Amino acid sequence: MQVTLFSPAKVNLFLAVTGRRADGFHDLVSVVAPLDFGDELVAEAGDGRRETGGSRFSLTCDHPEVPTDGSNLILRAAEAFAAATGWNTPVHFRLTKRIPPGAGLGGGSSNAVAALRALNQLSGGLLVASRLREVAAKLGSDCALFLADAPVVMRGRGDRVEPLPAPATARLRGRRVLLFKPSFGISTPWAYQRLIARGGDYLPLGEAENQLAAWVGGEARAEELLANNMEPAAFEKYVALPLLLAKLRREFGAVARMSGSGSACYTLLSDNQASDPLVALIRACWGAGAFVQEARLS
């Protein structure tokens, strides 16, 4: 028996890191939307013949840079599922990787949630929704959001997730997004370390909530929501990012932001806007090695 699941990428439309926590993580307030672009995960329950390294879970991936050992969040999710349920059927995962790693697009977390959902389907639903959320949240700060299948507000370290009110969701859903990432990635722990070292980039919680409430309760377009206070830490080292974002604004009036801890950036496109001139500028600045992808907020 096998199941095939879509594993979407995400973008942070609004990201305010508000301070450090006692557990070493950071508190944040973020609006995050899944995209109609992402990876595909096939999970095949079998007799264990493919089993490697003593584990009954195995993984293959078409992307050479993605680790397929126990460090991959898919296999960590599978172990967490087995520990939570006692289900012991061998499963082989096949991942078709389209979301670039080190991008701030949530690829690893999304894959972990897809693996949990796949195993829950294969096992006949051993985990109820609330338990699935608990297991997912322990795997990574960005995992909980992928269970919502809709734009959400994320709080705490990312584990507290609630849907956006319907009128706010309506201003986001279906909007065209142009994603672009330079050939290098940014490590999330590194980005948070830089934030700590710089000290002054945090946005006080009250201010973050006020900014969010003003947009949610108003009628402004999605463009007015875009913010990310992790940008200065990343931009200080990776100057190719702010240079291109400034050019996009100057030449096309495009509001572009970094997603999460980077290095992927994005801009919103209007319905009938041609993306070709923007793509040409991105390629001219960042070269053929850049990742460029059009998608929609879902």
DSSP string, 55-121: BSEEEEES-TTS--STTSHHHHHHHHHHHHH-----EEEEEE--SPTTSSS-HHHHHHHHHHHHHHH
Shorter beta-carbon distance to ligand C5P: residue 38 or 104: 104
For the CB of residue 28, give the shortest distance to ligand C5P in the complex, in Å.
5
Contact stretch for ligand C5P (CB under 6 A) within 3-11, 137-145, 219-227, 252-260: 137-145
Instruction: Please tell me whether residue 155 binds ligand C5P under the rule CB under 6 A.
Output: no
Contact stretch for ligand C5P (CB under 6 A) within 3-11, 23-31, 115-123, 206-214: 23-31
Catalogue the active-site residues. 10, 142
Q: Which are the contacts of 248, defined by CB distance < 8 A and separation ≥ 6? A: 254, 256, 267, 278, 281, 282
Question: What CA–CA distances, in Å, run from 9 to 44, 105, 216?
Answer: 23, 5, 23
Instruction: Please tell me whether residue 256 binds ligand C5P under the rule CB under 6 A.
Output: no
- Count the neighbouring beta carbons within 10 Å of the beta carbon of residue 66: 18
Instruction: Please tell me whether residue 25 binds ligand C5P under the rule CB under 6 A.
Output: yes
Shorter beta-carbon distance to ligand C5P: residue 45 or 73: 73
Q: Quote the CA–CA distance of 90 and 108 in Å, as a whole number.
A: 21
Shorter beta-carbon distance to ligand C5P: residue 138 or 247: 138
Contact stretch for ligand C5P (CB under 6 A) within 64-72, 168-176, 188-196, 236-244: 188-196
Instruction: Please tell me whether residue 26 binds ligand C5P under the rule CB under 6 A.
Output: yes
Phi, psi of 12 (to 5 degrees): -85, 110
Q: Which residue is nearest to ligand C5P (CB)?
A: 141
The count of chain residues that interact with ligand C5P, using the rule CB under 6 A, is 11
Q: Which helix (H) or strand (E) holds 257?
A: strand 256-258
For the CB of residue 237, give the shortest distance to ligand C5P in the complex, in Å.
17
CB 176 within 8 A of CB 157: no
Eight-class DSSP state of 296: E
Q: Which position among 7, 12, 110, 188 is part of the footprint of ligand C5P (CB under 6 A)? A: 188
Q: Which position among 38, 107, 140, 260 is part of the footprint of ligand C5P (CB under 6 A)? A: 140
Residue window 232-251: x/- pattern of binding to ligand C5P, with contact defined by CB under 6 A: --------------------
- What is the edge-to-edge ordering of all strands in the sheet holding 265-269? 256-258, 265-269, 176-181, 291-296
Instruction: Please tell me whether residue 112 binds ligand C5P under the rule CB under 6 A.
Output: no
For the CB of residue 21, give the shortest distance to ligand C5P in the complex, in Å.
7
Instruction: Please tell me whether residue 18 binds ligand C5P under the rule CB under 6 A.
Output: no
Q: Quote the CA–CA distance of 26 and 196 in Å, as a whole number.
A: 10
Contact stretch for ligand C5P (CB under 6 A) within 6-14, 48-56, 184-192, 238-246: 184-192
Q: Quote the CA–CA distance of 267 and 178 in Å, as a whole number.
A: 5
Return residues touching ligand C5P (CB under 6 A). Answer: 25-26, 28, 140-142, 157-158, 188-189, 192
